[in-house]
């Protein structure tokens, strides 16, 4: 048995029975990293020494009979979440040497649960990108085909899970950055409802959209991580004070009476043939499990790319104003005058995509253009939300592809920002509406690349997503297939 291949729940069971130790499990994960990381490039930072110490500590907790579902489980954390004492780069040169003085709430919860943090996963700089090629350090490669992108921006987290370089991972999703890489890497990615998970200690990109969520080997693990990370946090006033259910209770067979909405705009021309085939086959499977299907329309879908790429950069341009070379991060020391220091620092510290988005956002918010761009986009965002509200009046979940094509080649879209933005078309509308979404593996392309199925629910209805995704997963075997690395 290769321990690195275990899921969270499988590893937990073996740990509890005393058949394996966290030290063995963690060592197996690091052996795997040693073996495949040169090709995949999932991590910016690895912390083997502290991970082995965490594992030894977890083994002691388990021996005392106090082990919980995450005790001793090796997890990868996207490098956008602050980890006390472990550098947190956000995939950017401007934070290359930043060592946070505190941990994000999600990481604190993992520490309290005695999980093992093994490293910080690669990402597009400041989570801006769909391919992880915008990392200032290196691109991550898709474990299913090393010439292709793993998706982004949580590409490191998704690739680490797919390549068994961790047992589970955390990503963040602003416009699809959990679901799309999960889809391209053949793993499960869940974006909870906006406000479900505390953003305290998450480096801000677009504050009205950013949300943290699990990337895992199966749906059961997703539910387990959701239990650990969801809930109100006094340190994040946008986290919602609402009771958190036990998501593992949604892992029940049977979809009788459930209505699945199929939004016609997500199956329009431009959808790759293999993707369309796999998603249509998934609809059949879900119907076969007792659910009924209903055709619905989300008429403002086509505007989501324009809305998102105005609102997210506008928020980013404001959030990223804090990187001025004064309190933390990189400073260019040539200038002898303050404003010039700001400009030199930011121009040398930020990569091209981040600078591009800061300029778009600043432009969209600037005098004379505010109403035409940011204002207009905020109004159309309301219409997109109304589309979802109406659809959820007649169906329990929506079913759609995650991405219009399987993973594209490295370099294919990196010089054409608009083409890259358009690849996010199926994940952006739900992010703008703040609803919950999950991506589960639903097939492979002719070239053997994973295809993902997207399920969406209304706000705070994640249990339904978990239930449908779990039933689909149990009826299929896509999630147990592994890349041949």
Question: Element (H or E) spanning 294, and its range?
Answer: strand 292-296
Please, are residues 185 and 42 in contact by the beta-carbon 8 Å criterion? Answer: no
User: 44 vs 19, 38, 214, 351, 396, CA distance in Å?
Assistant: 32, 12, 19, 16, 39
DSSP SS3 for 242? coil
Question: Element (H or E) spanning 169, and its range?
Answer: strand 168-173
3-class SS letters over 172-201: EECCCCCHHHHHHHCCEEEECCCCCECCCC
Please, are residues 28 and 165 in contact by the beta-carbon 8 Å criterion? Answer: no
Q: Which is nearer to another protein, 9 or 196 (CB)?
A: 196
Question: Cβ 480 to another protein, closest distance in Å?
Answer: 35
Question: Cβ 329 to another protein, closest distance in Å?
Answer: 7
What is the C-alpha to C-alpha distance for residues 195 and 441, in angstroms, rounded to an integer? Answer: 26
DSSP letter string, 98-137: ---SS--HHHHHHHHTT-EEEEEE--SGGG--SSSTT-SS
Q: Which is nearer to another protein, 311 or 397 (CB)?
A: 311
Q: Which is nearer to another protein, 48 or 111 (CB)?
A: 111
Q: Which is nearer to another protein, 133 or 164 (CB)?
A: 133
Q: Which is nearer to another protein, 331 or 479 (CB)?
A: 331
Q: Which is nearer to another protein, 9 or 300 (CB)?
A: 300
Question: Cβ 44 to another protein, closest distance in Å?
Answer: 17
DSSP for residue 409: B
Taking phi over 0 as left and psi of -120 to 50 as alpha, with beta for the rest, 131 belongs to alpha
Question: Element (H or E) spanning 443, and its range?
Answer: strand 436-444
Tell me phi and psi for residue 238, to 5 degrees: -95, -5
Tell me phi and psi for residue 364, to 5 degrees: -65, -20
Question: Cβ 434 to another protein, closest distance in Å?
Answer: 3
Question: Cβ 224 to another protein, closest distance in Å?
Answer: 25
Burial of 308-338, coded b for 16+ CB within 10 Å and e otherwise, reads: bbbbbbbbbbbbbeebbbeebbbbbeeeeee
User: 200 vs 43, 235, 451, CA distance in Å?
Assistant: 22, 6, 32
What is the C-alpha to C-alpha distance for residues 397 and 260, in angstroms, rounded to an integer? Answer: 5
Q: Which is nearer to another protein, 194 or 472 (CB)?
A: 194
Residue 262: both structure tokens together: 């199929």
What is the C-alpha to C-alpha distance for residues 336 and 343, in angstroms, rounded to an integer? Answer: 12
Question: Cβ 150 to another protein, closest distance in Å?
Answer: 24
Q: Which is nearer to another protein, 9 or 464 (CB)?
A: 464
Residue 220: both structure tokens together: 């059961």
Q: Which is nearer to another protein, 144 or 308 (CB)?
A: 308
Question: Cβ 203 to another protein, closest distance in Å?
Answer: 13
CA angle 120, 124, 129 (to 5 degrees): 145
Q: Which is nearer to another protein, 294 or 376 (CB)?
A: 376
Question: Cβ 355 to another protein, closest distance in Å?
Answer: 6
Question: Cβ 15 to another protein, closest distance in Å?
Answer: 35
Strand 74-78 versus strand 436-444 pairing type: unpaired
Residue 454: both structure tokens together: 């997207």
Return the bridge partners of 83, or none: 86
**What residues are annotated to the active site?**
78, 153, 177
Rounded to the nearest 10 degrees, what angle do helices 304-319 and 376-394 cross at? 120
Question: Cβ 244 to another protein, closest distance in Å?
Answer: 15
What is the C-alpha to C-alpha distance for residues 333 and 279, in angstroms, rounded to an integer? Answer: 54
């Amino acid at each position: 048995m290769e321990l690195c291949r275990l899921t969270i729940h499988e590893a937990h069971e073996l740990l509890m029975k005393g058949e394996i130790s966290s030290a063995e499990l963690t060592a197996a994960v690091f052996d795997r990293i040693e073996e495949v990381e040169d090709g995949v490039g999932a991590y910016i930072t690895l912390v083997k020494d502290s991970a082995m110490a965490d594992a030894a500590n977890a083994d002691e907790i388990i021996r005392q009979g106090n082990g919980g579902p995450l005790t001793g489980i090796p997890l990868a954390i996207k490098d956008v979440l602050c980890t006390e004492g472990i550098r947190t780069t956000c995939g950017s040169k401007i934070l290359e040497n930043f060592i946070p003085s505190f941990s994000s709430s999600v990481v604190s919860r993992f520490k309290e649960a005695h999980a093992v943090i093994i490293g910080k996963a690669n990402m597009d700089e400041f989570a801006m990108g769909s391919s992880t090629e915008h990392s200032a350090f290196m691109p991550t490669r898709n474990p299913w085909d090393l010439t292709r992108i793993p998706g982004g921006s949580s590409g490191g987290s998704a690739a680490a899970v797919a390549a068994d370089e961790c047992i589970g991972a955390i990503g963040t999703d602003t416009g699809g950055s959990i679901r799309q890489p999960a889809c391209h890497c053949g793993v499960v990615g869940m974006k909870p409802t906006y406000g479900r998970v505390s953003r305290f200690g998450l480096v801000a990109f677009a504050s009205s959209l950013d949300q943290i969520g699990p990337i895992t080997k199966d749906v059961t693990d997703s539910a387990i991580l959701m239990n650990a990370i969801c809930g109100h946090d006094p340190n994040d006033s946008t986290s919602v004070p609402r009771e958190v259910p036990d998501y593992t209770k949604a892992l029940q067979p049977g979809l009788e009476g459930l209505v699945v909405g199929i939004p016609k705009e997500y199956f329009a021309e431009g959808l790759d043939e293999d993707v369309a085939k796999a998603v249509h086959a998934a609809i059949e499977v879900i119907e076969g499990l007792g659910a009924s299907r209903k055709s619905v329309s989300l008429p403002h879908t086509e505007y989501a790319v324009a809305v998102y790429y105005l609102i997210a950069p506008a928020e980013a341009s404001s959030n990223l104003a804090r990187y001025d070379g004064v309190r933390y991060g990189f400073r260019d020391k040539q200038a002898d005058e303050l404003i010039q220091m700001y400009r030199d620092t930011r121009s040398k510290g930020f990569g091209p995509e981040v600078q591009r988005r800061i300029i778009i956002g600043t432009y969209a918010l600037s005098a004379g253009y505010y109403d035409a761009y940011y204002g207009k986009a905020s109004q159309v965002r309301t219409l997109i939300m109304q589309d979802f509200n109406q659809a959820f009046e007649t169906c329990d979940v929506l079913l759609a592809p995650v991405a219009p094509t399987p993973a594209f080649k490295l370099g294919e879209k990196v010089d054409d920002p608009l083409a890259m933005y358009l690849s996010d078309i199926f994940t952006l509308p739900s992010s703008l509406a703040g609803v919950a979404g999950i991506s589960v593996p639903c097939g492979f392309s002719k070239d053997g690349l994973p295809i993902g199925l997207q399920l969406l629910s209304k706000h705070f209805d994640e249990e339904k997503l978990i239930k449908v995704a779990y039933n689909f997963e149990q009826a299929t075997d896509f999630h147990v297939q592994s890349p041949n690395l």
